Amino acid sequence: MDGGPGPALGLTPTSSLCDNERMKTCALCFALCCGWFGAAAAPPNLILINVDDLGYGDIGPFGSELNRTPNLDRMAAEGRRLTSFYAAPVCSPSRAALMTGCYPKRVLSIPHVLFPGNAEGLAPGEITVAELLREAGYTTGIVGKWHLGDQPEFLPTRQGFDFHFGLPYSNDMGPSMDGVKSNLGAPLPKPRANEQPPLPWLLNETVIKRVLADDQTTLVRRYTEEAVAFLQLNHARGQPFFLYLAHNAVHFPLYPGREFQGRSGNGLYGDWVEEVDWSVGRVLDAVRRLGPEGNTLVLFTSDNGGTPRGHNTPLRGYKGSTWEGGMREPTIAWWPGRIPPGTSTDAVTGMIDILPTFVKLGGGTVPSDRKIDGVDIWPVLAGDPGAGSPHEVFYYYRGLKLEAVRQGSWKLRLEPGELYHLDRDIGESDNLASAFPAVVQELRDVANRMKDDLGLDGIGPGCRPLGRVENPQPLIAPDGRVREGFAPGQGPRR
């Protein structure tokens, strides 16, 4: 358990464990993919890049003059900025919305985020975007952070993904600094002794390593290598793929790669932002080099608002809040020849729209046996002249509580009743409630429509059951033992 994880799908394997896992994965991919598509037009490849805690103003296309992001600058110049794209205030709810096309509270009714060894997770009965795309003939892979439950029943390989390489949750959820001195020019955070179990690095359902501080400095590079290997493998086969690249960067604690440390001149945070930009460039270059760029949609976004370590300018607030700075994300859509270059849209879109949009583009079918809150936003991405905002109303939930509602350009914060016009006041600095009492009342009525669905606070009738297991166990126990069935050579117990 002391050696670093080698490339699981890379071209130069470094360990017999990864060799074996790669052969299993390749065989699975081949069996799943062969024979599904004939002479019909090939469906598009779909890549979703999701950064952790990136601020709205942390990258050049959204106004940063501090961090150098040339690859994202080019992506925006060749694609379309989505300036009113919403997630949730924190990690797990945001990812639940992404996976299911629903408001987080509908499918993961928890007050904050999931932690290692929790009995709860995204219910196995929920249908994910990965499951629907796999049914439509796609090979599906997640490289990076999952954070929707670390019990076997909740892992991505049980939720529609053929392949997973990464961490089951945030990079701070474990005492990763044990016995390792800082080489980052800043002190490491103190261990959380007996609070959380060691942090596991997963390859599918095998714990290939306990993550230590030095390993954290390799996260972006290794994720990028795996992402490129995944698209190379599937491109070589001529098979459509869905790749979900979910970076742990730029979540605290900050661990930029050694080659990026000190390069930005803006501290460890700026270094890590610039490493993420490098990663985006590597992925886009691979797509361009392999030649499927005319048939590959890439969507770049963040899972929630930035923290005070970053920059949310011109938005107010940070991660964990329902101010715009907590939920509005810097988002770029890229598909040469299909998405108009150098454009932007302020149409209200969000994580809830990824499932219906990707599934329709992939030729799949969105479930009709359950409520889906998202819609197909392809007309918005494509810049269709008649495409208006796909959401007349957007609801801002913080955990189980509805804190705000947006209709058109108006946003009402329900307590204490503050009204903002977002087109003219994106920074939410001018409370217009006293000047527009009729608008306040109208938006209160809009908010009350949720009373009999998701509820205004607590569990509403429209909330579906959480996934829950008995006797939950961490993947690595505090004493270092790997959970039975997840150690190298054991294979998963199903």
Neighbours of 430 (CB within 10 A): 12
Active-site position among 29, 91, 102, 463: 91
147 is catalytic: yes
Is 33 a known active-site residue? no
Say how far apart CA 123 and CA 131 lie, in whole Å. Answer: 13
Sheet order of strands, 418-421 included: 393-398, 401-407, 410-413, 418-421
Structure tokens at 156: 């991505």
Q: What's at 235, amino acid-wise?
A: H
CA 49 to chain centre: 7
User: Is-cis flag, bond preceding 250, omega within 30?
Assistant: yes
Closest Cα to residue 241, out of 49, 45, 50? Answer: 45
3-state secondary structure the chain: CCCCCCCCCCCCCCCHHHHHHHHHHHHHHHHHHCCCCCCCCCCCEEEEEEECCCCCCCCHHHCCCCCCCHHHHHHHHHCEEEEEEECCCCHHHHHHHHHHCCCHHHHCCCCCCCCCCCCEECCCCCCCHHHHHHHCCCEEEEEECCCCCCCHHHCHHHCCCCEEEECCCCCCCCCCCCCCCCCCCCCCCCCCCCCCCCCEEEECCEEEEECCHHHHCCHHHHHHHHHHHHHHHHHHHCCCEEEEEECCCCCCCCCCCHHHCCCCCCHHHHHHHHHHHHHHHHHHHHHHHHCCHHHEEEEEEECCCCCCCCCCCCCCCCCCCCCHHHHEEEEEEECCCCCCCCEEECCCEEHHHHHHHHHHHCCCCCCCCCCCCCCCCHHHHHCCCCCCCCCCEEEEEECCEEEEEEECCEEEECCCCEEEECCCCCCCCCCCCCCCHHHHHHHHHHHHHHHHCCCCCCCCCCCCCCEECCCCCCCECCCCCECCCCCCCCCCCC
Residue in 18, 29, 147, 251 annotated catalytic: 147
State the pairing for strand pair 343-345/120-121.
Answer: unpaired
Q: Is the CA virtual torsion 270, 274, 277, 283 positive or negative?
A: negative
Q: Catalytic residues, which ones?
A: 91, 147
